[in-house]
Structure 1
Amino acid sequence: MTAPAFYALRSGGWRDYVTLLHLPYTAWHLSYVVVGACLAASVDWPVLGLTVLAFTLAMGVGAHALDELNGRPLRTSIPDGVLVGLAVVSVGVAAAIGVAVGLDRTLWIVPLVVLGAALVPVYNLELLGGRAHTDVGFALAWGAFPVVTAYVAQTGTLRGEALLAALWATLLSLAQRRLSTPARRLRRSREPGPGDLAPLEDALRLLTGATVVLALALVVLRA
């Protein structure tokens, strides 16, 4: 049987938890956090570290746990109760980090923390009739939102450069969906030929690498 994703490990045990993290895509979207923070005139590195940690927990763990709970797209054997527990704890800790940063830096971050905590179940469990679970919803929630949140955490405000970067992340995330959706359908519906998947997944790997390298370049530039 074809693996459910190009980054999925062999099913069972600890490997299921690694697969659950969607590591390439998590790294991709955490790069948006770094880009947003590095647009600030002066980067507060501890705040950036906390912002990355919060998004790692809420998105990398919590959102992906609920996504797996909703239909088992990765075919893991992780019990439902464990997935729910991972989601609740990770999102709760991420929200606590966000509130702490807000109280220390700027209260403008608190509404974004509330919005982010709500986005995780609304998007991944397809609440509200699934109206947020669209390509545009994905791009705004996991593309624009990390950029804006990281910038606001650094500056306490929102300026044109952050909005333009959010638009960049939205468009790039839409491109990701245009590639990943057909690739996912091919893997999970039938046995694809190498010519079907290779162009799509090679492009996804290259875009992941390009986004991560851009974020690292900004860190080196601002350090």
Structure 2
Amino acid sequence: MGDTPVSETTGPTNMTDATGLATKNHAANGGLGAAAFTPAYYARKGGLWADFWTILHPPYTLWNLSFVAMGAALAPALDWRMLALMLTAFLAGTGVASHALDELNGRPLRTGFSDRALKLMALAALAVSLACALLSLLFVSVWIILLALLGALLVAAYSLEWFGGLLHTNLGFALSWGGYPVLVGYWAQTEALTPDALLLAAAATLMSLAQRELSTPARFLRRKANAGGATFATAEGVIQWDMPRLLNSYERPLRLLSWMAPALAAAMILAKLGL
């Protein structure tokens, strides 16, 4: 989709002219909008497993697990048993439980799971996370249980918007899904928190904020907007972006970032191994 200059007489040049813009783009896009897009770029249709894939949010779950691995890789020595337990705990807690509760709260992904199935899925996943914490007692102190309980609280408070939605904000997301997994990943290896771990957690928080700044408008376009686009007045004329191009301007960076996080985590693990 290239930039297509059009005459100023063919449409609104003022970007605040929402009525004209929506009408023209709705016609130009053949009615593209929330009904035409899947609720997420990774969403699948076709039955139970497609719904489970969708609810898992694979790119973002992998992103979250990458932060756990980064924290572990920063430690002076790497205990593979603790890394495996923490990755499993976050896969269950964040990847499954949190997203199941989020789907329960408003059905943003439009999956076919019943409310009962989503609740059972969340409870089972949280039980797996707690089991991982209990197994971790073989290797670390009882503080791991407190970290696990804090994680469960963050999952429920964010996804179900407890405390008046206090945590259901960009910063709440970034701290819970970015900084927290880095700190847990590091602490599980060292039973301590050091300045370098805190700095890495801050970097993960900033990366998660960037994710949120991109994903929020992308979700709006996919799930709520019925028509629209963008109009830019340039020296050469008026350039219009239709809905797919506007959506792509947010989602292409998201896709790239979702691969950057695991690549960085893998590089840190390989460096730890001396490879």
Q: Which residue of 1 aligns with 2:115?
A: 80
CA distance in 2, matches of 1:92, 1:98: 10
Query: 184-193 vs 204-213, which deviates more?
Result: 184-193
CA distance in 2, matches of 1:67, 1:35: 26
Q: Which runs of 4+ in 1 moved over 3 A?
A: none
CA distance in 1, matches of 2:186, 2:225: 42
Q: Which residue of 2 aligns with 1:57?
A: 92
Q: How does 1:42-53 map to 2 (within 5 A)?
A: 42-53=77-88
Q: Which residue of 2 aligns with 1:38?
A: 73
1:36, distance to aligned residue in structure 2 (A): 0.3
Q: How does 1:172-183 map to 2 (within 5 A)?
A: 172-183=207-218
Which amino acid is the alignment partner of residue 172 of structure 1?
M
Q: Which residue of 2 aligns with 1:96?
A: 131
CA distance in 1, matches of 2:153, 2:59: 24
Q: Which residue of 1 aligns with 2:199?
A: 164
CA contact (8 A) 1:147 1:169 kept: yes
Q: Give SS of 2:137's match.
A: helix
CA distance in 1, matches of 2:73, 2:175: 20
Which amino acid is the alignment partner of residue 157 of structure 2?
V
Which amino acid is the alignment partner of residue 164 of structure 1?
L
Q: Which residue of 1 aligns with 2:258?
A: 208
Which amino acid is the alignment partner of residue 59 of structure 1?
T
Flag the structure with larger Rg.
2
Which amino acid is the alignment partner of residue 193 of structure 2?
L
Q: Which residue of 2 aligns with 1:140?
A: 175
Q: Which residue of 1 aligns with 2:152?
A: 117
Q: TM-score, normalised by structure 1?
A: 0.97
Q: Which residue of 2 aligns with 1:218?
A: 268
1:103, distance to aligned residue in structure 2 (A): 4.6
CA distance in 2, matches of 1:70, 1:200: 25
CA distance in 2, matches of 1:206, 1:142: 18
- CA deviations 1:181-206 (Å, max 9, x no partner) are 00000100124612211111000001
Which amino acid is the alignment partner of residue 7 of structure 1?
Y
Which structure has the highest helix share of the two?
Answer: 1
- CA deviations 1:146-169 (Å, max 9, x no partner) are 000111110011111110011001
Identical columns (%): 48
Matched, 1:194 2:244: yes
Which amino acid is the alignment partner of residue 205 of structure 2?
T
CA contact (8 A) 1:28 1:208 kept: yes
Which protein, 1 or 2, shows the higher relative CO under an 8 Å CA cutoff with sep ≥ 6? 2
Query: 191-200 vs 125-134, which deviates more?
Result: 191-200
1:100, distance to aligned residue in structure 2 (A): 2.2
Q: Which runs of 5+ in 2 are unaligned?
A: 1-35, 228-242
CA distance in 1, matches of 2:86, 2:190: 13
- Across the aligned residues of Structure 1 and Structure 2, the Cα RMSD in angstroms comes to 1.1
Q: Which runs of 5+ in 1 are unaligned?
A: none
Matched, 1:130 2:165: yes
User: Which of these residues, 61, 64, 69, is aligned with residue 104 of structure 2?
Assistant: 69
CA distance in 2, matches of 1:186, 1:51: 35
